[in-house]
Amino acid sequence: MLTFLGFAMVITFMYLIMSKRLSALIALIIIPIAFALIGGFATDIGPMMLEGISKLAPTGVMLMFAILYFAIMIDSGLFDPPVRLILKLVKGDPLKVAVGTVALALIVSLDGDGSTTYMICVGAMLPLYSRLKMSPTIMAGLIIMAGGIMNMTPWGGPTARAASALHVDPSDVFVPMIPTMVIGAIVLFAVAYFYGLRERKRLGILQLPDAQAGQEQISVSQYPEARRPKLTLINAALTVVLMTTLIAGLLPMPVLFMIAFSIAMIINYPCLQQQKERIATHAGNVLAVVGLIFAAGIFTGILSGTGMVDAMSKSLLAVIPDALGPHLAVITALVSMPFTFFMSNDAFYYGILPVLNEAAANYGISPVEMARASIVGQPVHLLSPLVPSTYLLIGLAKIEFGDLQRFTLKWAVLICLAIMFAALLLGVFPLFASL
């Protein structure tokens, strides 16, 4: 009975959000409550929900302050100098333009918001591509793959979803994945070099007039009144200290971002009214992400509290060949590519991953290793027609969705495989696990 209810709940949840009958936020709350009532758990719903929410509270806090911190850094103009430097260096060389596109996209993607990244990167690079007669499809492909790599940061979304679904610390998932993300970025730079070289051979190097004046006007910050150019070095130092302490694990990630956010606010916007304006500007993005995490607490709390996930994992174990069981981490990494392409991140991380995790636990694979494996497919995920921000990208770049997929998909898969092999070599998750 529990097995049937569990799979029925997951299927119902996935259908409703993929068919857009319900938003992920509402579905994560309503669906588990309905199935818990059907299963006769009416008296236990409250404690299960509260337990699930309490387990995810640190993740929700971390996401809230991480998003706000990077939003403030962008608003203050921290990333304006590197963006201008990149545009200054690329000039009229298609090779430099392609490599510069990747560098720019990796930097801007730090904010974790795909739509903002696309608007900034396309706005900065498309005039260059048009002037040099380079293919805008190359530009869009490089930008979206860079976004896919940086989407693996905890504030990007998938890592937080995986951590919340499996009740593990996001920093334990993310920090060991940093070297693999670097490998993915290196592969992407190689792809950019390849296409840049090809475009250079096709078009040659164009001597552009000095555009220094125009470059000085380019800014990542969308709010001129919020820019603090005189504080760039201080903000940079604060960000470096934050990243260093995060990697070193000196304090829990939620605490680090709370402290960094508070310091950044005091330094950049000492006036109370300015602080209110900055927070209000980004409140919508924060609410959408954090609300989803707390709603996920209800879903996972009921899924585990009722015993549904245990029953589902036992049924899954019964059909998994014994030879494949110890390889479930690698299998999860591989299936994360098609699964997150054909379904939303919410459906995969809250519907599929907990079941895979329970099955993997029988072979000695830890939840944090499964969480790491599950985020490998993100460079492919962003090419999914289910990702709204991708439509913004193709609209801005003035290209067709099919052209973007045909150009990008093979390279996105290559980057995912490179990240996976790097993770296996570094022991981030196991190739073969045994009790």
What is the per-residue pLDDT for 42? 86
Instruction: State the residue for tokens 């497919």.
Output: 377
The amino acid at 53: I
DSSP assignment letter at 152: T
* Predicted structure pTM score: 0.74
Instruction: State the residue for tokens 């709204």.
Output: 388
What is the per-residue pLDDT for 209? 55
Percentage helix, strand, coil, to 5, in the chain?
80, 0, 20
What is the per-residue pLDDT for 213? 45
Distance CA 381, CA 378 (A): 5
For 175, the enclosing helix (H) or strand (E) is none
Distance of CA 104 to the CA centre of its chain: 17
The amino acid at 148: G
Distance of CA 244 to the CA centre of its chain: 20
What is the per-residue pLDDT for 18? 65
Pick the closest to residue 140 from 123, 161, 162, 164 (CA basis).
123
What is the per-residue pLDDT for 383? 84
pLDDT in tens, the chain (435 residues): 777 888 788 788 778 876 778 877 888 889 889 988 888 888 888 888 888 888 778 878 877 888 788 888 878 888 778 777 777 777 778 888 899 999 988 888 876 666 777 877 887 788 788 878 888 999 999 999 999 998 888 877 788 888 888 888 888 888 899 999 999 999 999 999 999 999 888 877 766 555 544 455 556 666 778 888 888 899 989 988 988 888 777 888 888 889 999 999 999 999 989 889 888 888 887 887 788 778 878 887 887 788 887 777 677 667 767 777 788 899 999 988 888 877 777 778 887 888 888 888 888 889 999 999 999 988 898 887 667 677 778 888 888 888 888 899 899 999 999 999 999 999 998 888 765
Mapping DSSP to helix (H, G, I), strand (E, B) and coil, where does residue 371 land?
helix
Pick the closest to residue 245 from 255, 234, 233 (CA basis).
255
Pick the closest to residue 353 from 378, 370, 334 (CA basis).
370
For 218, the enclosing helix (H) or strand (E) is none
Contact indicator for 99, 192 with CB cutoff of 8 Å = yes
Mapping DSSP to helix (H, G, I), strand (E, B) and coil, where does residue 381 land?
helix
Pick the closest to residue 397 from 137, 220, 105, 113 (CA basis).
137
What is the per-residue pLDDT for 425? 94
Contact indicator for 153, 110 with CB cutoff of 8 Å = yes
Mapping DSSP to helix (H, G, I), strand (E, B) and coil, where does residue 383 land?
coil
Residues 6+ apart with CB under 8 A from 267: 231, 234, 235, 238
